[in-house]
Structure 1
């Protein structure tokens, strides 16, 4: 998802001929005019257009499949009396994200020359958002519709992160209203600062596919919500953390594998081009590094939980793999394979260590989304400067702080307004009986008697 000046050159003639063809519309500055020499034998603009469009579409539906992963992961980690509600939240947030990104989000995120405040804020409404599904000229190097579809999936992913943290005690309508604001305004605005050519992009901030722009953003929004919402009843009874086991660890494991698979689209298609030999090689390298970081995160979580608790914790291992994936997302191209394993392993350890810290603060995160997406996302974005020569640690810190402060403050304000106006938490009786009954009127496992 990074800003690229052109298709990475297979040879100099190709680079000149197709400059600017490999990037999403409005995601970067216009390339300077240049003479267009003849394309090398076997290369055509049609071919570049087709391959780049396929990359966006395949990457897009892989990221869309991650929505199923989040749904299964969360359904497995919540108690059985809340499963239906969690499944509903995951499908409705995806639908809301699609509509809001079409109406305002896409244009806010990629304003081109249409900034309301240059570098910081695009315009709310523009024909560009409505026209995003147009075919697109062959000279553009990709279908505009494929670009819109791909970018939309990232927007929906941000909202999925919030869902799991606030499970088992939040009302549905306030959650849906917050999702409207997150996907329509908060995410597109902060993402425009980098991917839309805004001030962070000009500064040199690096976040290839969204360790901070997507994952930490969702984590900051979830953190604000968890603070305002408060912990589940009985979670910190008598100053002791009470375990609330999930309903189905098989579903949680399936969800993790689905997310792992979808991440190849998340990171791989963020190369934004596969119309040359070099681009195809880079996409392959990204796939390998992404996989190895997940492996590092999972194994590190195995070791960490054995040392800390005396036994291996499956849920921690699942989140360790996801933390490894989040960690490598900010820069999956430059690190070596060994470096990717190390980056993912550190992310996995961070996710394990962050859980007891949140519990000490009495911040109740049902599925561990804050340790995985926020904490590992910050780590992954920071460490970009260790491998990517185009950025530096101070720039990375500035970007993380700016995005975090904006997302957390705005989210906190929205949650507080919702709490004051309509309430965001179900009553104690409804929470005890389960949200499936109180909020949905149906149960995921009606043949079982749920423990109250």
Structure 2
């Protein structure tokens, strides 16, 4: 009987991991559509190329070295992860427990890798939109190699794996918690993006000589809206899968609450951003609505299991308000982010971390602050070094002529809308 229970729980938790991982993988399509909709038509092919290429690079680098850095025992040693010895040792641990089916999750090591690798790709996807329309394709892809193979796995080891930060302190011991990655994934991606944007500079014509901000509308808002809905859907796997188990009543209830709160926060973020934009601009700004929904999702990601649905809605709504003002503030500082990624994932990601202690008594404000600063300092600092090295070696920005004509032809040799492209 015990052996049958083990097989059932093992199969159920493994299957749940894989389904949630597939949902998170689908977020790559969401990022691609969102970014393709928010850039000008002459830059669409290149941004799509970035998105599909960065996903493949992320999967490969994490397979080769990233998972080993983050958790130890890389997937190259696949016999350890999914072989008979792994299953036998897991069964032995299960048999030694007194809690049986009510205990911790048990699943295939390969399913764990698959779930983790799509998170890496999500972090890298955040960077592509922020540097859009003026960065060299191959310079971006070179950075992706380092980001997904080294920078992200290191801070992931300090947080989700519980390693000491350079042997100095342990974030978990300080009371740091990030349930699904408001800081570990989203703020980290935004920190890498910020470092690149500061070195890259704004798009030509974005800012006037007298400090005015010139809007550069995206080419396809229906596509951007579709991308947002895809991301919204994928986020159920992002947060829901982070429960790590489905196979008993307590965890099933936790999964259901995470799904409910994730949806509530997104809705709250969108409504709050819509109202804020209406009050500020006198119009219903669709792009602010879309970013408001994503801000709500980022805000709740740090802890979607402990808030009540009303609290989740409020957290998302605050994130939706924050993102509108953050986008405006970055423009005032002449930090050009075509899709609002730094505000959505960075500023709101930090907010998401800091609000966790208000719904989870086991988490401290000090621990969250130290954790957030550790993640940001590491990712921003190392990214700035890598971006600077790439800038010296190959350059990171296309020429003014290429930027004016559009990077599609120069970088990819084709246009996304060849019969309709306008310069």
Return the TM-score normalized by structure 1. 0.86
Contact 1:70 1:255 in 2 (8 A): yes
| C-alpha separation in 2, matches of 1:444 and 1:204 | 48
Distance 1:240 1:133, change over 3 A: farther
Equivalent residues of 2:37, 2:223 under 8 A apart: yes
Alpha-carbon distance, 1:450 to partner: 1.2
**Cα separation, partners in 2 of 1:365 and 1:129, compared to 1, 3 Å:** farther
CA distance in structure 1 between the partners assigned to 2:43 and 2:4 by the alignment = 54
Superposed counterparts of 1:41-440, under 5 Å: 44-111=5-72, 128=77, 131-132=80-81, 134=83, 136-137=86-87, 139=91, 141-198=106-163, 199-238=170-209, 239-440=211-412
Q: Is the 8 A contact 2:174 2:366 kept in 1?
A: no
The structure-2 alpha-carbon separation of the partners of 1:237 and 1:102, relative to structure 1 and needing over 3 Å to count, comes to same
Q: Normalising by the residue count of structure 2, what TM-score does the alignment of the two structures yield?
A: 0.92
Give distance in 2, aligned partners of 1:436 and 1:350: 33
Are 1:134 and 1:145, in contact at CA under 8 Å, matched by a contact in 2? no
Deviation at 1:332, TM superposition (A): 0.2
> Displacement, 1:197?
1.8
- Structure 2 vs 1, CA of residues 65 and 353 (structure 1 numbering), >3 Å: closer, same or farther? same
Task: Give the superposition deviation at 1:370.
Answer: 0.6
Aligned-pair CA distance for 1:204: 2.5
3-state SS of the aligned residue for 1:237?
Answer: coil
Shift of 1:132: 4.1
Name the CA shift for 1:273/1:445 in 2 (closer, same or farther; >3 Å).
same
- Structure 1's unaligned 5+ residue stretches are 1-37, 113-124
Alpha-carbon separation, structure 2, partners of 1:291 and 1:126:
33
1:65–1:164: structure 2 CA closer, same or farther, 3 Å change rule? same
Distance (Å, rounded) in 2 between the aligned partners of 1:130 and 1:346: 47
The C-alpha deviation readout for 1:227-279, integer Å capped at 9, x for no partner, is 00000011102221111110100000000000000000000010001121111
Deviation at 1:285, TM superposition (A): 0.5
Distance (Å, rounded) in 1 between the aligned partners of 2:205 and 2:325:
22
Alpha-carbon distance in 2 for matches of 1:46, 1:449? 56
Q: 1:132 to 1:89 in 2, by over 3 A?
A: farther
CA, structure 1 residues 64+420, in 2 after alignment: closer, same or farther (shift >3 Å)? Answer: same
SS where residue 448 of structure 1 aligns? coil
CA contact (8 A) 2:264 2:309 kept: yes
CA contact 2:131–2:196 (8 Å) conserved in 1: yes
Residues 132 and 148 of structure 1 are in contact (CA less than 8 Å); yes or no, is this contact kept in structure 2?
A: no
Contact conserved, 2:41 with 2:421, CA < 8 A, in 1?
Answer: no
State the SS of the aligned residue for 1:160.
Answer: helix
- State the distance in 2 between where 1:192 and 1:134 align: 24
Aligned-pair distance for 1:436?
0.3
**Displacement, 1:70?**
0.2
**2:319, 2:200 → 1: CA distance?**
27
Report the Cα offset of residue 194 of structure 1.
1.3
| Structure 2 equivalent of residue 115 of structure 1 | none
Instruction: Give, in whole Å, the separation in 2 of the partners of 1:289 and 1:363.
Output: 32
3-state secondary structure, aligned to 2:217:
coil
Whether the aligned pair in 2 keeps the contact of 1:327 and 1:379 (CA below 8 Å) is yes
Provide the C-alpha distance between the structure 1 equivalents of 2:138 and 2:55, rounded to a whole number of angstroms: 15
CA distance in 2, matches of 1:130, 1:373: 37
Provide the rounded CA distance (Å) in 2 between the counterparts of 1:203 and 1:108: 22
Q: Which digits, 9 at most, give the CA deviation of each residue in 1:332-361, with x for residues without a partner? A: 000000000000001111110001111111
* Deviations, residues 15-69 of structure 1 (Å, cap 9, x unaligned): xxxxxxxxxxxxxxxxxxxxxxx85xx9700111011001110000000000000
Distance in 2, Cα, partners of 1:55 & 1:384: 26
Contact kept? 2:63, 2:76, Cα under 8 Å? no
Bigger share in helix? 2
Q: What is the rounded CA distance, in whole Å, between the counterparts of 1:202 and 1:272 in structure 2?
A: 21
Residue 200 of structure 1 aligns to a residue whose secondary structure is coil
